Chains A and B, each alone.
Chain A
Amino acid sequence: MTTTYLAARNLEEALAGLDRGAKVLAGGTDLMVHVRRARLYGAGLPEHFVDVTGIPDLNRIDLDTDKPFLGAAVTFRRLETDEAVARQCPLLAQAAATVGSLQIRTLATVGGNVANASPAADGLTALTALGARAAIASVNGVRHLSLAELITAPNTTRLLPGELIVGFELDRPPEGSVQRFHKIGRRRAVVIARMNLALSMDREMTDPRLVLGACFPSPRRLTEVERLLASETPGPNVWKEAGKMAAEQFVNACGWRASAPYKVPAVANLVFRTLESTWAELGVTE
């Protein structure tokens, strides 16, 4: 059987290959697990791959502009170590550092994290807090979808055959924002999140962002909590109310499942503590 592996040098080459029915290969840390399973159980193996990790557009990190852009093939290792990411989107750097192991982070890409659309994807929680809009290309042109539009269910997206995520347009957080990413898992490293959270806020609560992941079909902005933060006088009472609201949203979305007795207080406390410590870091004296 003839198989093909196209290491695309540019977007046109990649899109032409995808148009002919080839499969997108980025880091491969999810895809190669599926390939292995297919091999073990005698299912059909994908024959034609387009490796998109060598395409310059997909490796672009352009954050010091009014329209920040992050290429889809940027690896978590690069996010973890890049100076501009640490400065402009620290929650993304913090999230990247918690993904898998160093070996995984060296391969795995942020675009792959989104396309795989795991409810527990750390990159997805971080990107949602940054208001990411995916730029999606095919031979027919480019379209843009918010992550909420793109991801319809766990591990399910609106990506069509022949389409490729080129990268993400990000919001520019208000000046003076402090960002945080936290993750709760069964151990400290190489762990899938049982819960993760991304927060960005400034002293004036100009545009607070609070995203909770691994608690919904896909990471979700808690917009009611964000409105509460923006409207009330900041302080412990508001943090507590925010935690309570977040926990309620989790139960409303997922029902009272077996993990709820653990997750409900964990959500409430994670939100409370993250707000409390982030507010302290903003250096506001009351």
Chain B
Amino acid sequence: MNLIFTLNGTLTSLPDVPSHATLLSILRDRLGFLGTKEGCGVGECGACTVLLDGEPVNSCLTAAWKAAGREVLTIEGLAPADGLHPVQEAFIESGAIQCGFCTPGMILSAYALLKRTARPDVEEIKTALAGNLCRCTGYKQIVDAVQAAAAKMDRNHDNDVSGG
């Protein structure tokens, strides 16, 4: 039986997925989506964060078959074809990227937060990102970036509403 799920908006079908495979392993090793990183491999660092039906999960702890019939969003699926997502832009502009290893997971956690809370306060941002460890950039820039992204997304939303 094939594992069928929606990956970044595209229906994906994968044969021969063993029961004990992780979502992380099929994303990276079978499908070549290398934006999702493996850090600790045991759910501590959040580098492997992806969104499963819009909710952040550690893909290293998620059995691959849990994705069956559901939507998975990886960092590759966030940006439009012709540019970057506002959260990605904000991370660059705020200096919230250094080595970049934690960034895909960090951005997806931030994106999920901003989807449910348009203008989060600092505590809300810290809670939402507590499961994403960064060892080099520093968290101040990252929190700044999420606030800047919130402002950008809010502005874009206003523009959409006004037909702009």
Please indicate the chain A residues that have their CB under 8 angstroms from the CB of B43 in the complex.
29, 32-33, 100-101, 103-104
Compute how far the CA of A104 lies from the CA of B48 in the bound complex, rounded to whole angstroms. 12
Assess whether A189 is in contact with B61, with CB atoms less than 8 Å apart. no
* Of B62-70, B74-82, B94-102, B148-156, the one touching chain A: B62-70
Q: Give chain A's interface secondary structure class.
A: mixed
- Measured between C-beta atoms, what is the minimum distance from B40 to chain A in Å? 10
Assess whether B42 is in contact with A103, with CB atoms less than 8 Å apart. no
We find that the number of chain A residues with CB closer than 8 angstroms to chain B is 31
Compute how far the CA of A48 lies from the CA of B19 in the bound complex, rounded to whole angstroms. 7
* Chain B interface residue number, banded: 20 to 34
Compute how far the CA of A101 lies from the CA of B20 in the bound complex, rounded to whole angstroms. 23
* Of B6-14, B51-59, B83-91, the one touching chain A: B51-59
Compute how far the CA of A48 lies from the CA of B46 in the bound complex, rounded to whole angstroms. 27
Partner of A107, one of B58, B126, B132: B58
Q: Does B93 contact A (CB under 8 A)?
A: no
Compute how far the CA of A28 lies from the CA of B57 in the bound complex, rounded to whole angstroms. 11
Partner of B55, one of A39, A45, A53, A106: A106
Please indicate the chain B residues that have their CB under 8 angstroms from the CB of A47 in the complex.
19-20
Assess whether B55 is in contact with A77, with CB atoms less than 8 Å apart. yes
0/1 interface trace, chain A 5-43, chain B, CB 8 Å (1 if under): 101000000000000000001011100110110010000
Q: Does B104 contact A (CB under 8 A)?
A: no
* A101 touching B131 in the complex, CB below 8 Å, given contacts A106-B56, A107-B57: yes
Partner of A3, one of B19, B22, B49, B61: B19
For window 99-139 of A, CB contacts with B under 8 Å fall at 100-104, 106-107
Specify the chain B residue showing the minimal Cβ separation from A97. B127
- Measured between C-beta atoms, what is the minimum distance from A173 to chain B in Å? 27
Specify the chain B residue showing the minimal Cβ separation from A33. B42
Assess whether B63 is in contact with A103, with CB atoms less than 8 Å apart. no
Q: Does B26 contact A (CB under 8 A)?
A: no
Assess whether A100 is in contact with B62, with CB atoms less than 8 Å apart. no
Q: Does A190 contact B (CB under 8 A)?
A: yes
Please indicate the chain A residues that have their CB under 8 angstroms from the CB of B39 in the complex.
none
Compute how far the CA of A33 lies from the CA of B63 in the bound complex, rounded to whole angstroms. 11
Q: Does A169 contact B (CB under 8 A)?
A: no
Q: Does B128 contact A (CB under 8 A)?
A: yes
Partner of B62, one of A4, A48, A77, A107: A107
Assess whether B46 is in contact with A32, with CB atoms less than 8 Å apart. no
7 tightest A-B contacts by CB? A101-B131, A189-B130, A3-B19, A5-B19, A5-B65, A103-B58, A103-B131
10 other A-B residue contacts (CB within 8 Å) besides A32-B63, A51-B65, A103-B109: A3-B18, A28-B62, A32-B60, A32-B61, A36-B41, A46-B20, A101-B43, A104-B43, A189-B130, A190-B44
